[in-house]
Structure 1
Amino acid sequence: MPALKKQRIDLRLTDDDKRLIEEAAAMSNQTITQFMVASASERAAQVIEQHRRLVLNEESWDLVMEALSNPPAPNARLKSAAKRLQNME
Structure 2
Amino acid sequence: MSALKKQRIDLRLSDADKSLIEEAAAMNNQTLTQFMVSCASERAAEVIEQHRRLVLNEESFNLVMDAIANPPAPNEKLKQAAKRLQDRE
Within 5 A, what are the aligned runs for 1:45-60?
45-60=45-60
1:43 is matched with 43
Q: Structure 1: which amino acid aligns with 2:67?
A: A
1:64 is matched with 64
**Identity over aligned pairs, percent:** 76
Moved over 3 A (4+): none
Of residues 52-61 and 78-87 in structure 1, the stretch that sits farther from structure 2 once superposed is 78-87
2:15 is matched with 15
1:3 is matched with 2
Structure 2: gaps of 5 or more residues = none
Pair 1:87 & 2:87 matched: yes
Structure 1 residues 10 and 88: CA distance shift in structure 2, 3 A: farther
Structure 1: gaps of 5 or more residues = none
Inter-partner Cα distance in structure 2 for 1:51 and 1:36: 22
TM-score normalised by the chain length of structure 1:
0.90
> Per residue, is there more helix in 1 or in 2?
2
TM-score normalised by the chain length of structure 2:
0.90
Structure 1 residues 82 and 22: CA distance shift in structure 2, 3 A: same
Q: Deviations over 1:3-60 (max 9, x none)?
A: 3511001111111111111111011100000000000000000000000100011001
